[in-house]
Amino acid sequence: MITNKKSTAIQAYRARILHFIDNPLSNTDSPYEYFEDGVLVIQDGHVLHVGDFHTLSECLPEFNRFKTTDDHIIDESNNQITSRNQEITLEEYPNHLIIPGFIDSHIHYPQTQMIGAYGDQLLEWLNNYTFPTEQHFDDEDYASDVSSIFLNELLRNGTTTALVFGTVHKASVNAFFSEAQKRGLRMIAGKVMMDRNAPEALCDTPETSYQESKELIERWHNVDRLQYAVTPRFAPTSSPEQLHKAAQLLDKYPSVYLHTHLSENQDEIAWVNTLFPESSHYLGVYDDARLVRKRSIFAHGVHLCDNECARLAQTGAAIAHCPTSNLFLGSGLFDLKQANKHNVTVGLGTDIGAGTSFSMFKTMDEAYKIQQLRKEKLDPFTALYLSTLGGARALDIEDKVGNFAIDSEADFVVLDLAATPLLKFRTEFCQSLSELLFALNTLGDDRLVAKTFAMGQCVHDRDGDNL
């Protein structure tokens, strides 16, 4: 029930509403809440209430007495809200579904310009496309332009939070955080640490990477909605000394993240084995450097052994599963069943620019197909959980975003179920919520996203001006 705690404006959004309370694979009786005719009520950028529209009207009779002027509804009765001179705005979205903003648990903003680079698998792809592209990001103006395009693209796709790679340049991270801050977004990012096996222009040293990361942490970590991730690119491009420096940063700043790649491609794994012969496996390289912890997020984990999975689960570290990237680079088919068996925390990532779409719908679609090729199933509830609350859990921010729990930050998307003629035709035919979600997962893309909100502010309007 609404209790009026504050004296600022209230916004209410009426539509179908779906959000997750828990993992569908847990034993929770109802892991999600779904309101066929729901209302999401926001105040001061936070969730005040979510529920059934008519139940809310009964709890709060004043809600029915609001009078519409244009698209505003103003309470004319003499109730508590008007006595505080408040205005309530009600936006109604028939045939739309409101869900929490998507969470992309692994993405590279500097690779926006090189999505869809032809013909290579991971190591050649890095040398031929990625490293040349990333060399431009010592220029902060250039990095700001790309950050802006990247963030707008995320918002057009309904993604409100992401864990983001910069490049080795400090300027790349300053530019990215400045653009994210302007838009009021919750973002986690960091400067790449890379001191070997890469072009000279992209290499730092253990000392400079420590110092520059430290300066960035002190400037940006926990400023507004921004958080910092210590970001060694992957084991082959960091010396053991640099990995130890990364651990020192985590010791000094325990609430920052560790973000890197793990066990993506067979040639990469063989290379890691020759570079770190003392370590028992790929995860062991990071573990030996004390980098496997809660708030450590490892992209891919396509070829993990049971011991690696057990260790990830034991430490509370997470895997970011990136299906479009794994297919595009021919890296392999992620074993979700194995991860679940070991209780490894998993989020979904696009991994742009090896990933081929900013859309979490496209990402869920490919995740489903990967499990099909493994003769396994990924049901649409679990897929949507992984893209919202599951991602928030992987990033340890579930107290802030990922669902519509009271007081959480009001990041959400309004999905247009009739966005295309085919979607309209297909969704009208759906007999159950499960069928509807699966149709959206399979057919959906950026066109589904009518509006995106961050902290209750509209940050993307498909049919309006570019905000």
Applying CB under 6 A, the residues found at the interface with ligand GUN are 108, 122, 126, 130, 233-234, 261, 264, 325, 351, 354
Residues at the contact surface with Zn ion, assessed by CB under 5 A: 299, 351
CB of residue 160 to ligand GUN, shortest distance in Å? 23
The nearer residue to ligand GUN, 17 or 367, going by C-beta atoms, is 367
| Residue 213 interface partner, choices ligand GUN, Zn ion, none, CB cut-off 5-8 Å depending on type | none
Residues 6+ apart with CB under 8 A from 189: 109, 163, 164, 165, 166, 173, 176, 177, 180, 226, 228, 229
Residue nearest to Zn ion (CB): 351
Q: How many CB atoms lie within 10 A of CB 58?
A: 11
CB of residue 318 to ligand GUN, shortest distance in Å? 17
373-377: which pairs have CB atoms within 8 A and are 24 or more residues apart? 373/333, 374/333, 374/335, 374/336, 374/337, 376/336, 376/337
| Residue 287 interface partner, choices ligand GUN, Zn ion, none, CB cut-off 5-8 Å depending on type | none
The nearer residue to ligand GUN, 234 or 385, going by C-beta atoms, is 234
CB of residue 130 to ligand GUN, shortest distance in Å? 5
Angle (CA) 54 59 62, round 5°: 90
| Residue 233 interface partner, choices ligand GUN, Zn ion, none, CB cut-off 5-8 Å depending on type | ligand GUN
Q: What DSSP line would sit under 398-435, residue for residue?
A: TTTSSS--TTSB--EEEEETTSSHHHHHHHHT--SHHH
The nearer residue to Zn ion, 351 or 416, going by C-beta atoms, is 351
| Residue 264 interface partner, choices ligand GUN, Zn ion, none, CB cut-off 5-8 Å depending on type | ligand GUN
Collapsing DSSP states into helix, strand and coil, what is residue 9?
Answer: coil
The nearer residue to ligand GUN, 179 or 351, going by C-beta atoms, is 351
CB of residue 108 to ligand GUN, shortest distance in Å? 5
* CB 44 within 8 Å of CB 5: no
What is Dmax (Cα atoms) for the chain?
Answer: 75
Q: What DSSP line would sit under 39-78, residue for residue?
A: EEEEETTEEEEEEEHHHHHHH-GGGGGEEEETTEEEE-SS
CB of residue 122 to ligand GUN, shortest distance in Å? 6
Angle (CA) 152 156 162, round 5°: 70
Run of H or E including 95: strand 88-100
The nearer residue to Zn ion, 107 or 309, going by C-beta atoms, is 107
The nearer residue to ligand GUN, 126 or 448, going by C-beta atoms, is 126
The nearer residue to Zn ion, 179 or 264, going by C-beta atoms, is 264
Among the listed residues 217, 280, 276, 225, the one whose alpha carbon sits nearest the alpha carbon of residue 252? 217
CB of residue 190 to Zn ion, shortest distance in Å? 13
CB of residue 168 to ligand GUN, shortest distance in Å? 12
CB of residue 283 to ligand GUN, shortest distance in Å? 15
Task: Using CA atoms of 370, 374, 380, 385 in order, give the dihedral in degrees to the nearest 10.
Answer: -80
Q: Are strands 412-416 and 72-75 parallel, antiparallel or unpaired?
A: unpaired
CB of residue 108 to Zn ion, shortest distance in Å? 6
The nearer residue to ligand GUN, 156 or 261, going by C-beta atoms, is 261
Determine the Cα–Cα distance for residues 34 and 19; give it in Å rounded to an integer: 7
Determine the Cα–Cα distance for residues 344 and 319; give it in Å rounded to an integer: 7
67 has which bridge partners? 74
Among the listed residues 439, 454, 358, 367, the one whose alpha carbon sits nearest the alpha carbon of residue 157? 358
Determine the Cα–Cα distance for residues 411 and 305; give it in Å rounded to an integer: 36
The nearer residue to Zn ion, 367 or 413, going by C-beta atoms, is 367
Q: How many CB atoms lie within 10 A of CB 205?
A: 15
CB of residue 351 to ligand GUN, shortest distance in Å? 5
The nearer residue to Zn ion, 66 or 165, going by C-beta atoms, is 165
